[in-house]
């Protein structure tokens, strides 16, 4: 167990998340707890950083953060800038300080992403490049100040450069996201908004009607712009019946000018939802990119994770999509699934290479709160299953994607991701997903419709000032609003969801 003690309750509230994230990154299997020493009764002898006892004391005073761990006392001065509040600057300093303290205490054990715990390291690097004025200077800060390894900084830089080449040709407009939160069954690791369609079948039509209403009003808010990309995600949109899928496409066509859309993606994630008729509907309405997601090509793993399909069904679904004329097909896989190691991953990659997709998105398993997998691991139903991703497994992926002629173009990290690594989107030249790049780099507004969808408005003026959550005025050119996640609440409160969009885009 790691015990973090803050000098007072206010600081605990403000900085607990940052301190815990670094400790968890170093000690993923340990419990991390925190408390505050408001009445100053802490006994210094309790502080130590050994295998047997890990107790840290954190003190914040006069623009300096200090950490005490028994014999060791480290301190770091807080540096502020115009883009960040004092609270954010202290948080960032605390992470760097804790990182270097733990790295030294653990005799040089480093983490590939250093003290970066955020979701979008490439976005962070691109901000550094703007601030520092050159890629070289930014990479130096990335590696020296934030302790990112050379391997990861090279990866982040190559993704950044690829994204810049994609974004420079992008016309003005916005992206449209539509969420269909239904799936044939719910996968064990799922933490998305997803309902098994068989049990919630009665709700689907009501959901589609609410979505239609949201589309009708929200389309008028964007009437002087046209969408650059459309992304129908979920859930599994192809879990809808032919009639429902056609209804959805008609609604989109009626409300939005899709004549100049550069990319129109529909996730067809579960192979057991793909057939010739559905592919024909998607094709007819202009979908030009789909995703067929095996996650693994090993039957025993599919059985464990609750995906009720076979590897053969994935192959047939892929062939079906090709037959329908799709020339941009992405496949998703997950590394670190229960009881999968190098051998199982190689089997999956070999089967995928034979199919020849245009893009491959490689996730690492993230055991998220609320997922059935998390519950089962906690209740020990599955405590004997191993979940890990080794360096050899990552190298194996790199060698396969290179053989398939793909390059990384998109990268993000998740909380509780196995072995603290990252998810990477690879694509053949010209087969990347524009929507993915836009959402990562936040270069365009996203109008997002459906349960759990999060809309973003990106203002043209990068110097725009607005009130931050801590009440201070700061540079802020992005505002967000979200829809409720539960389908029943979304249907019932559709007017409120529309009003939120009016407030954001109106």
Closest among 357, 252, 345, 350 to 296, alpha carbons compared? 345
**Please, what is the minimum distance in Å from the beta carbon of residue 391 to ligand SF4?**
26
Number of residues that bind ligand SF4 (CB under 6 A): 11
**Please, what is the minimum distance in Å from the beta carbon of residue 248 to ligand SF4?**
17
Is residue 495 within 8 Å of residue 486, measured between CB atoms?
no
**Please, what is the minimum distance in Å from the beta carbon of residue 191 to ligand SF4?**
8
Residues with Cβ within 8 Å of residue 269, at least 6 apart in sequence: 183, 234, 236, 238, 291, 292, 293, 332
Footprint of ligand SF4 on residues 192-211 (CB under 6 A)? 192, 194
Q: Among residues 5 and 487, whose Cβ is nearest to ligand SF4?
A: 487
Window contacting ligand SF4 (CB under 6 A); options: 104-112, 113-121, 145-153, 188-196: 188-196
- Residue 258: strand, helix, or coil: coil
**Please, what is the minimum distance in Å from the beta carbon of residue 258 to ligand SF4?**
25
**Please, what is the minimum distance in Å from the beta carbon of residue 371 to ligand SF4?**
9
Residue 270 near ligand SF4 by CB under 6 A? yes
Window contacting ligand SF4 (CB under 6 A); options: 42-50, 82-90, 232-240, 394-402: 232-240
Q: Which two tokens stand for residue 60?
A: 């914040």
Give 110: exposed, middle or buried? Use CB within 10 Å, 0-12, 13-18, 19+.
middle
Q: Among residues 291 and 445, whose Cβ is nearest to ligand SF4?
A: 291
**Please, what is the minimum distance in Å from the beta carbon of residue 199 to ligand SF4?**
13
Q: Among residues 173 and 234, whose Cβ is nearest to ligand SF4?
A: 234
Q: Which two tokens stand for residue 275?
A: 């057939």
Residue 187 near ligand SF4 by CB under 6 A? yes
Among 190, 287, 453, 498, binds ligand SF4 (CB under 6 A): 190
3-state secondary structure 254-276: HHCCCCCCCEEEEECCCHHHCCH
**Please, what is the minimum distance in Å from the beta carbon of residue 489 to ligand SF4?**
19
Among 5, 183, 304, 365, binds ligand SF4 (CB under 6 A): 183
Closest among 182, 175, 210 to 498, alpha carbons compared? 210
Please name the residue ranges forming H helices in 259-341: 276-284, 299-305, 311-323
Footprint of ligand SF4 on residues 233-252 (CB under 6 A)? 234-236
**Please, what is the minimum distance in Å from the beta carbon of residue 366 to ligand SF4?**
11
Q: Among residues 186 and 468, whose Cβ is nearest to ligand SF4?
A: 186
What gap in Å lies between CA 67 and CA 22, rounded to an integer?
A: 13
What gap in Å lies between CA 315 and CA 304, rounded to an integer?
A: 20
Residue 363 near ligand SF4 by CB under 6 A? no
What angle, rounded to 10 degrees, do the helices at 121-132 and 434-441 form? 60
Q: Which two tokens stand for residue 215?
A: 């589309």
What gap in Å lies between CA 229 and CA 236, rounded to an integer?
A: 19
- Judged by the rule CB under 6 A, the positions of this chain that interact with ligand SF4 are 183, 186-187, 190, 192, 194, 234-236, 269-270
């Amino acid at each position: 167990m790691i015990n973090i003690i803050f000098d007072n309750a206010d600081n605990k509230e403000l900085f607990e998340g940052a301190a815990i994230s670094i400790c968890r990154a170093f000690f993923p299997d340990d419990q991390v707890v925190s408390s505050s020493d408001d009445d100053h009764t802490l006994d210094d002898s309790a502080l130590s950083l050994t295998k047997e006892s890990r107790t840290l004391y954190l003190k914040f005073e006069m623009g300096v953060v200090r950490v005490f761990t028994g014999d060791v006392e480290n301190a770091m001065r807080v540096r502020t800038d115009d883009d960040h509040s004092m609270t954010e600057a202290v948080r960032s300093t605390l992470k760097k300080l804790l990182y270097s303290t733990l790295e030294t205490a653990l005799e040089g054990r480093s983490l590939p992403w250093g003290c970066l715990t955020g979701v979008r390291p490439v976005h962070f690097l691109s901000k550094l490049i703007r601030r520092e004025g050159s890629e070289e200077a930014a990479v130096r800060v990335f590696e020296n100040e934030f302790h990112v390894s050379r391997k990861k900084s090279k990866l982040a830089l190559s993704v950044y450069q690829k994204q810049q080449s994609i974004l420079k040709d992008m016309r003005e407009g916005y992206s449209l996201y539509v969420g269909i939160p239904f799936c044939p069954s719910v996968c064990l690791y799922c933490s998305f908004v997803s309902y098994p369609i068989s049990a919630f079948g009665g709700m689907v039509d009501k959901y589609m009607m609410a979505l239609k209403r949201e589309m009708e009003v929200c389309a008028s808010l964007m009437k002087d712009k046209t969408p650059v990309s459309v992304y129908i995600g979920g859930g599994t949109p192809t879990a809808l019946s032919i009639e429902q899928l056609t209804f959805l496409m008609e609604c989109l066509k009626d409300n939005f000018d899709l004549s100049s859309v550069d990319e129109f993606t529909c996730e067809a994630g579960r192979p057991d939802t793909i057939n010739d008729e559905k592919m024909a509907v998607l094709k007819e309405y202009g979908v030009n990119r789909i995703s067929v997601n095996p996650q693994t090509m090993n039957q025993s793993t599919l059985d464990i994770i609750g995906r009720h399909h076979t590897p053969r069904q994935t192959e047939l679904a892929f062939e079906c999509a090709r037959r329908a004329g799709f020339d941009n097909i992405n496949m998703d896989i997950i590394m670190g699934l229960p009881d999968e190691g190098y051998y199982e991953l190689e089997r999956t990659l070999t089967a995928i290479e034979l199919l020849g997709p245009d893009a491959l998105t490689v996730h690492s398993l993230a055991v998220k709160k609320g997922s059935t997998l998390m519950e089962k691991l906690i209740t020990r139903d599955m405590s004997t299953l191993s979940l890990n991703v080794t360096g050899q497994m990552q190298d194996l992926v790199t060698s396969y994607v290179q053989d398939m002629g793909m390059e990384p173009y998109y990268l993000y990290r998740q909380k509780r991701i196995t072995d603290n690594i990252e998810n990477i989107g690879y694509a053949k030249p010209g087969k990347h997903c524009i929507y993915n790049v836009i959402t990562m780099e936040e270069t365009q507004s996203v109008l997002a419709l459906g349960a759990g969808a999060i809309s973003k408005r990106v203002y043209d003026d990068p110097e725009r000032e607005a009130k931050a959550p801590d009440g201070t005025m700061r540079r802020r050119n992005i505002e967000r609003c979200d829809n409720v996640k539960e389908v029943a609440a979304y249907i019932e409160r559709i007017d409120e969801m529309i009003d939120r969009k009016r407030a954001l885009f109106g």
